[in-house]
Structure 1
Amino acid sequence: MEAPYDDRLLHQRVVGGDESALGEVYDRLSPLIFGLSLRVTRDRVIAEDITQEVFLVFWERPLAYDPGRGTLRAWLATIAHRRAVDHVRAEERRRVSALGPRLFEREPARPEDGVLAADEAERVRQAVTRLPDGLRQAVELAYFGGRTYRQVGEELGVPEGTAKSRIRLALRRLADALAEEEV
């Protein structure tokens, strides 16, 4: 078993510019940071990049970490998780925006397929309009506006967790409503 290390002492050494302290932190925590990033992104190269970015943040701005608020492990893991999620969301937005125009330009394989798709899209739009205002606004900002949970919360003036709960509840209600309509 490895000897315990002192976050405060390592932090002080990094603040003082001690590269060997950063090396110690990296040796101890990079497997965790890489594993977390890989689990979220499912891409080794991106996970490696995120791991490097996380330790670069700590090296360049060591005073951003407050040992009184939690462990260095938790702080670095939080940064890694946020960056990994941001990467996944950005990739999804890029993918959707790249496919979007092509989805509408191509001709359906059969004319009735286009009619069915348009009918389903209209039924989804109608189901969204029937949601209570708070849920409707949250889902519109997130899915039609491409906002993150945090951005939805900021725009609606509610905590991020509340925004996330509203979006999940809205999606559940939409799924139930559309299942009743057999969409």
Structure 2
Amino acid sequence: MSSETTDDTPDRVQPEPEELMRRIASGDERAFEVFYDLFAARVFGLIRRLLRDEAQSEEVLQEVFVEAWQQATRFDAGRGSAANWLFTLAHRRSVDRIRSSQASRQRELRIGVQDIGTDYNDVEENAVLHDENRRIIVALKSLSQAQRAAIELAYFGGHTHQEVAHLLEIPVGTAKTRIRDGMIKLRDLMGVA
């Protein structure tokens, strides 16, 4: 057996986190493994406290270490420790996930409320229209045959006063009078002011 110690030997002195970051920045995968082993549990604890969801916390932990690997060249030991830099990344990622989740829930809630509101309003509107139609039919039956015919042609048939007069073979003035008098009576019967 060789007298040299390997990285797995317990009595080997572990480099400082800032030194690990320098090595990671140069692409040293072994340094990254050591860095991960050194901080993963504590970073996961921070993320877990913020997110309160284990599955999401695991995802964010992975994202944090991927970002640490990719952004290692941006680490500046003059601005703070490697641990603080990593915890800042974890905190930011966690807050981003919280905001994203909240925005998603709010979006789903708005869509859900719109859907519920539309369905509810459609049902309510249909009921009101059905009731109004029934009231109109009853009120129309209270009109004279001449008034009812003129109103049905004008309002339900979409005909002009001249067309109503032509269809009923009456003068235009008579058609207008029947429509006006019939509408006044309908308004009174329906209770419209």
Under TM normalisation by the shorter chain, which class is it?
Answer: 0.5 to 0.7
Q: Give the equivalent residue in structure 2 for 1:10.
A: 20
1: CA distance between counterparts of 2:86 and 2:19? 16
Deviation of 1:29 after TM superposition, in Å, equals 0.4
Question: Alignment partner for residue 25 of structure 1, among 27, 30, 35?
Answer: 35
Q: Give the equivalent residue in structure 2 for 1:81.
A: 91
Question: Alignment partner for residue 55 of structure 1, among 53, 56, 65?
Answer: 65
Letter of the structure 2 residue corresponding to residue 69 of structure 1 = R
Deviation of 1:16 after TM superposition, in Å, equals 2.0
Q: Contact 2:22–2:73 (CA<8 Å) still a contact in 1?
A: no
Q: Contact 1:10–1:25 (CA<8 Å) still a contact in 2?
A: yes
Q: Give the equivalent residue in structure 2 for 1:142.
A: none
Cα deviation, 1:48-74, whole Å, max 9, x if unaligned, reads 111111111121221111111111111
Letter of the structure 2 residue corresponding to residue 78 of structure 1 = T
Cα deviation, 1:23-58, whole Å, max 9, x if unaligned, reads 111001001111111111111111111111111112
Secondary structure in 2 aligned to 1:53?
A: helix
- Is 2:47 the partner of 1:37? yes
Letter of the structure 2 residue corresponding to residue 43 of structure 1 = D
Q: Give the equivalent residue in structure 1 for 2:152.
A: none
TM-score (norm: length of structure 2): 0.51
List runs of 5+ in structure 1 lacking aligned partners: 109-183
Letter of the structure 2 residue corresponding to residue 59 of structure 1 = W
2: CA distance between counterparts of 1:57 and 1:102? 35
Q: Which runs of 4+ in 1 moved over 4 A?
A: 2-5
Secondary structure in 2 aligned to 1:17?
A: coil
Cα deviation, 1:127-157, whole Å, max 9, x if unaligned, reads xxxxxxxxxxxxxxxxxxxxxxxxxxxxxxx
2: CA distance between counterparts of 1:8 and 1:37? 22
1: CA distance between counterparts of 2:22 and 2:88? 20
Deviation of 1:103 after TM superposition, in Å, equals 2.6
Q: Contact 1:7–1:67 (CA<8 Å) still a contact in 2?
A: no
Q: Give the equivalent residue in structure 2 for 1:95.
A: 105
2: CA distance between counterparts of 1:4 and 1:46? 31
TM-score (norm: length of structure 1): 0.53
List runs of 5+ in structure 2 lacking aligned partners: 1-10, 122-193
Secondary structure in 1 aligned to 2:67?
A: helix
Cα deviation, 1:149-183, whole Å, max 9, x if unaligned, reads xxxxxxxxxxxxxxxxxxxxxxxxxxxxxxxxxxx
Deviation of 1:5 after TM superposition, in Å, equals 4.2
Q: Contact 1:34–1:48 (CA<8 Å) still a contact in 2?
A: yes
Q: Give me the CA root mean square deviation.
A: 2.4
Q: Contact 2:17–2:82 (CA<8 Å) still a contact in 1?
A: yes
